Amino acid sequence: YTSLRGKAAVVTGGGSGMGRAAALHLAKQGVKVCLVDLKKDDLLAVKEEIESSGSEAIVAEADVSNPSELKQAFIQAASEFNQLDIVYANAGINGTVAPIEDLKPEEWDETLSTNLKSTFLTVKCAIPHMKKNGGSIILTSSINGNRVFSNFGMSAYSSSKAAQVAFGKMAALELANYNIRVNVICPGAIETNIGENTHPKEDQLEKVEIPVEYPEGNQPLEERSGKPEQVADLVCFLASDASSHITGTEMFIDGAESLL
């Protein structure tokens, strides 16, 4: 997309998975990228990958659920690049996997705060830097909470992911005045490191009867999980002027997994 050349982006969760892949794809198309993540080593590794291909990247170690850390990351990006055109609000966790009767309030809060509050904060932090020239904001939700309800033990995750879609639509309406587009991506199972951030309570999960077998890794289109790079292609499309009339949508990218 030639319209991406010379643009500047913030990518949260940029140290791994879909955030990393999107950052690499955007950089390849001439976008300067500010990578935001909790994990410094991962951030530096992705920065190096981007720089070795001749593109520009900076890193900001920040917790996306922490208002002041995130605000600082945006100030850093805007002052380094003198502009901000694209924001990919993508950082997230599976959180604790447990039946509702065993899920602790603080475990619920951790998932909602990391996935949902962070989305609000990311969009909020982006507005002052984007309202003059407009731009594109992309959120990563999930098919879980929007089409798929068979992941037992993931009530907090599914709730956060469903609410991200509602928030994205409200943001699209509010920010249309500033020519800022907001779209939500709902991936199916994608091969990333997200499992490392999951805390299943297997003994507790045995208590709930799972009536549907979740077809993980069994997507009709390719008979496997999707790749982060396939999601990154969609991020680039939504970031570019090729999608200039698309805002307020949710896009499923799941190889028809959610139709099973």
Which of positions 206-235 make contact with ligand NAD (CB under 6 A)?
none
The secondary structure of residue 207, as a DSSP letter, is T
Q: Which of 55, 140, 146, 158 binds ligand NAD (CB under 6 A)?
A: 140
Residue 69 pairs in a beta bridge with: none
Of 45 and 127, CB closest to ligand NAD: 45
Least distance (Å) between residue 93 CB and ligand NAD: 5
Q: Indicate whether 145 belongs to the interface with ligand NAD (CB under 6 A).
A: no
Q: Indicate whether 151 belongs to the interface with ligand NAD (CB under 6 A).
A: no
Give whole-number Cα distances, 142 to 123, 128, 145, 213, in Å: 18, 27, 7, 18
Strands 198-200 and 8-12: unpaired
CB atoms within 10 A of CB 88: 29
Q: Indicate whether 146 belongs to the interface with ligand NAD (CB under 6 A).
A: no
Q: Indicate whether 197 belongs to the interface with ligand NAD (CB under 6 A).
A: yes
Of 127 and 194, CB closest to ligand NAD: 194
Region of 22-30, 34-42, 169-177, 198-206 interacting with ligand NAD (CB under 6 A):
34-42
118: Cβ–Cβ under 8 A, 6 or more apart, which residues? Answer: 12, 64, 65, 70, 89, 91, 92
Torsion angle, alpha carbons of 204, 95, 224, 46, to 10? -150
Q: Indicate whether 257 belongs to the interface with ligand NAD (CB under 6 A).
A: no
Concerning whether 157 is annotated as a catalytic residue, the answer is yes
Q: Which of 4, 13, 55, 156 binds ligand NAD (CB under 6 A)?
A: 13
The number of residues in the chain equals 260
Q: Which amino acid makes up residue 3?
A: S
Residues with active-site annotation: 157
Provide the binding-site residues for ligand NAD, judged by CB under 6 A.
13, 15-19, 37-39, 42, 63-65, 90-93, 114, 140, 142, 187, 189-190, 192-194, 197
